[in-house]
Amino acid sequence: MNGGFFTLRSSKMRKLPVIILPGESSILLHHHLIRKLFSTSSIASLPVDPEPSDLSWQLLSILSHSNWQKHPSIRSLIANIYPSHVSSLYSSNPNLDPRIALNFFHFIARKPGFKHSAQSHSLLLNILIRSKFFGVSEKIRISMIKSCVCLDDVRLALDCLREMNRDDNELKFKLTIRTYNELLMMLARHLLIDEMKRVYAEMLNDMLVPNIYTLNTMVNVYCKMGNVVEANSYVSRILQGGLRPDTFTYTSLILGHCRNKDVNSAYKFFLLMPEKGCRRNEVSYTTLIHGFCESGSVDKGINLFKKMREDGCFPTVRTYTVIIDALFKSNRKLEAINIFSEMRKSGCQPNVHTYTVVIDAACKESKFDEGRGMLDEMMGKGLVPSVATYNALIDGYCKEGMMEAARDILELMQSNNCIPNERTYNELISGFCKMNNVHKAMVLLSKMITHRLKPSLITYNSLIQGECRVGHLDSAYRLLNLMKENGVSPDQWTYSFLIDSLCKNKRIAEAYDLFNSLKEKGLKANEVIYTALIDGYCKAGRVEDADSLLQRMTTDDCLPNSSTYNALVDGFCKERKVGKAVFLVENMAQKGVKPTVQTYTILLAAMLKGGELDHAHLVFSQMVSSGHEPDVYAYTVFIHTYCNTGKLKEAEAIIARMIKKGVMPDSLVCTLLVNAYGQLGLLDQAFDVLKHMFNTGCDPSRHTYGFLIKHLLKENKSDARIDLVPNVSLVDVADVWKIMEFETVTKLFWKMLEHGCSPNINTYAKLIIGLCKVGRIGVAQRLFCDMNERGICPSDDIYDSLFNCCCELRMYGDALRLLDAMMESGYLPLLESSNLLVCGLYNEGKKEEAKTVFCNLLQCGYNNDEVAWKILIDGLLKNGHSDACSEFLSIMETRNYQIHPQTYKLLIEGLDVT
């Protein structure tokens, strides 16, 4: 084989340095593994501020000068000063001149982006109070309370304030009513209800009388929680204290009742406000409007919105946003867009939340250009998108399988210093798993942990489903154990994925055992689990067992749904027991489960396969008359029958009918038509269908191209082997890939161009994948080179197919060159294929090359556990290379590629066996 293939970017494999510990044993010692097994964390440490002590002494020296603000060194130090340095300065010098300490505090606060911490406030207070600077100390402690952004800040501020409030403290500085109020408001922002009650009690103990601000804060926080009863107890104290409930009080009560899903009571308080001499304001209106919208009474919310101006109130940006959001959620898109337009015309500028709502709505309708345009518009106006804004786009792209676009948004998000949250990662992980790119999803799991975000049940379920989808059951079980170790309990969905995958892999006994173990796990099997097992039994030809399980399902108070019945109907049809299938359909209707389009389609397929065309037409009519609109699959069963029997006019009539009904032919329908035309020697018409597919964005499948090539070969009679059986099925077309040559592809391309179809990335991908599946690497390589000469960049699946094929054919030189090209283009090779390469090189005695490949892979950013699972455990250990496994694990450890203790446990068990 010519060694020039896959050398587009580099003529040889890159050699990355391999770190081998000198004198270390090739067998990993058990005590070493056990020590690592119980290591505390696999999370990388976050960056910290520069060492405070390095600068604090320099600052002290500069501050000793009378005109320190103009000292030549101060300007050069400013860029490196963080709150920790200010705290270090004050804590190391408690007797610092209070005026200098205060002036420096204000001076450094003017640095762009600088914010004093609660700790720096606290230490400054100690200096000021010691010198009895009480007037300014009151302002600083109010500033300290307002600076609290996390629970650690809150605890520090509370401790500081309580300490200075102690009567026996030499630095005593009693809290005022204003300080208490600010403290209560800060605690309310963090919803620390118990701490609020304690602070309120401390205020009473200090003989301070709560004012309207104090009591309103207490009312408001309980209303936020929907606890109207407790809120009313503080309203009573307002009245008992001779105070009058004000607009804020009533607005809080409106909020409380809305949160309690009692909008009618909220409305009563709203109507009561003028009677009590309280003016309703924009917040009162917006709160009630939001309550109406949340309860589903959107029109009542809109009516209230329209009456605001009559009451001297004007809608705020929040008011508009609430209405726009409610209209979008109610599928009243045109009204929402009109309100959004009205909002801008009235001079009320949308904020980040408004734009987020509009972007989210656009993405849910797959109008991604509009969504992205809105993002650009808001950024052009100087608005900083929130994590929710970016998530709206990422969520939309992921649901459509547009993962590159989703990843672009993630990069934009990070470049704008917006930190992704759990939802960001969960959406991306789910999206990659749905596209069968589980290794990319596992990379994101690593990034989640690195950023100290805890993977949730949603995260693990997506990954387990993804591993099951690509048939990696061992990895799915490892993830199951990993989630348990991390304190996340599997649910019904977790086990449904595993049971379904076991059934699809014909491991029915294991699936049934797992199903029976659910009760002891404290879980009840749901209809999804039952359906998966019933479907598994049916596909294994055990229809009677599936029928028995349906009976057990009913006994266990788990109601079968249409999918459950459909699985069993399909099972009976596959066993040619159509009569039983029809009886079951009638039975499901009697039990209140309506047959679906899929139910009818299963029956139609069985009847057509049995030659009962008239009966099938009757069932089709029954489906339509019962209110079910046929989908593309229902039409396809007829088209397939007509195409296979050479009845093209009938097939074309069905296609015309479905298009008239707004159902567009998919790739399978077009492929059936391509083959039917080809069977009759109408090759130009077959290529016209291909042209139609190109024009309508319907991607031709591997089978589409396979049929075109088959009929091209038959037309040219270039190979007697192509004289295949008439009415060939989609599977039989695989014979084409075994005999076609590059010249055949050239003819295909010329014919495509004659019909206005220029070969694109999809064309090359389908051809290369088809060839690689049957080991025709030579032709596939020539296509790969041809594609690159035309300036078409390889896609993920092209790389995957070529790399895997080279490894399976033990063409390790070509595999190494291709791996180099993949890595240099930033692509993550599949670990399963990389495993074949590493083990293959090792088997051939090329240990250094295998080691180099492994080290290169480590730098690609894979999830470390997945590397250990798929290369060390599933590769080297299963192939008996325990020495290599130990050595490679040592490399991971030396380079700080940490793996989970559960993975170490698996390695120990594997090394014990070998």
Query: What's the pLDDT score for residue 63?
Result: 86
Tell me the average pLDDT across 651-662: 92
Residue 267 pLDDT level (bands cut at 50, 70, 90):
very high
Residue 22 pLDDT level (bands cut at 50, 70, 90):
very low
Q: Is the pLDDT reported for residue 17 higher than 70?
A: no
pLDDT digits (tens, 9 = 90+) for 155-168: 999 999 999 998 88
Query: How many beta carbons lie within 10 A of that of residue 92, not counting itself?
Result: 15
Residue 349 pLDDT level (bands cut at 50, 70, 90):
very high
What single-letter DSSP state applies at residue 67? T
Q: Is the pLDDT reported for residue 9 higher than 90?
A: no
Closest of 482, 475, 519, 520 to residue 498, by C-alpha: 475
Closest of 673, 701, 705 to residue 689, by C-alpha: 673
Closest of 127, 113, 232, 220 to residue 173, by C-alpha: 127
pLDDT digits (tens, 9 = 90+) for 566-619: 999 999 999 989 989 999 998 888 888 999 999 999 999 999 988 899 899 999
Query: What's the pLDDT score for residue 557?
Result: 87
Contact present, 215 and 243 (Cβ < 8 Å):
yes
Q: Is the pLDDT reported for residue 723 higher than 50?
A: no
pLDDT digits (tens, 9 = 90+) for 238-257: 999 999 999 999 999 999 99
Contact present, 671 and 706 (Cβ < 8 Å):
no
State how far Cα 272 lies from the chain centre. Answer: 47
Residue 825 pLDDT level (bands cut at 50, 70, 90):
confident
Residue 717 pLDDT level (bands cut at 50, 70, 90):
low
Query: What's the pLDDT score for residue 732?
Result: 58
Closest of 689, 683, 744 to residue 715, by C-alpha: 683
CA distances from 61 to 66, 89, 827 (A): 11, 11, 54
Tell me the average pLDDT across 824-840: 92
Tell me the average pLDDT across 203-229: 95
pLDDT digits (tens, 9 = 90+) for 760-819: 999 999 999 999 999 999 999 999 999 999 999 999 999 999 999 999 999 999 999 999
Residue 914 pLDDT level (bands cut at 50, 70, 90):
low
Tell me the average pLDDT across 385-411: 95
Q: What is the identity of the amino acid at 10? A: S
Q: Is the pLDDT reported for residue 681 higher than 50?
A: yes
What mean pLDDT value characterizes the chain? 88
Closest of 626, 574, 580 to residue 600, by C-alpha: 626
Whole-angstrom distance, CA of residue 513 vs CA of residue 511: 5
pLDDT digits (tens, 9 = 90+) for 271-312: 999 999 999 999 999 999 999 999 999 999 999 999 999 999
Q: Is the pLDDT reported for residue 23 higher than 90?
A: no
Tell me the average pLDDT across 869-880: 92
pLDDT digits (tens, 9 = 90+) for 37-91: 223 333 333 333 444 446 778 888 888 888 888 888 887 788 888 899 999 999 9
For 490-605, strand residue ranges (E) read none
pLDDT digits (tens, 9 = 90+) for 499-537: 999 999 999 999 999 999 998 999 999 999 999 999 999
**pTM of the predicted protein model:** 0.81
Query: What's the pLDDT score for residue 54?
Result: 61
User: What region, left, alpha or beta, does residue 226 occupy, with left being phi > 0 and alpha being psi -120 to 50 degrees?
Assistant: left
Query: What's the pLDDT score for residue 56?
Result: 74
Contact present, 279 and 273 (Cβ < 8 Å):
yes
Query: What's the pLDDT score for residue 79?
Result: 80
Query: What's the pLDDT score for residue 101?
Result: 92
pLDDT digits (tens, 9 = 90+) for 412-450: 999 999 999 999 999 999 999 999 999 999 999 999 998
pLDDT digits (tens, 9 = 90+) for 618-646: 999 989 998 899 999 999 999 999 998 88
Closest of 288, 270, 266, 287 to residue 279, by C-alpha: 270
Residue 246's Cβ-count burial label (10 Å; 0-12, 13-18, 19+) is middle
Q: Which of 76-85, 321-330, 701-710 has the lowest mean pLDDT?
A: 76-85
Question: For the chain, what's the residue count?
Answer: 914
- What three-state secondary structure class fits 725? coil
Which residues does 306 contact at the CB level (< 8 Å), separation at least 6?
Answer: none
Q: Is the pLDDT reported for residue 5 higher than 80?
A: no
Whole-angstrom distance, CA of residue 72 vs CA of residue 425: 47
Angle formed at CA 72 by CA 71 and CA 76, multiple of 5 degrees: 115
CA distances from 188 to 41, 233, 741 (A): 34, 17, 74
Tell me the average pLDDT across 261-272: 95
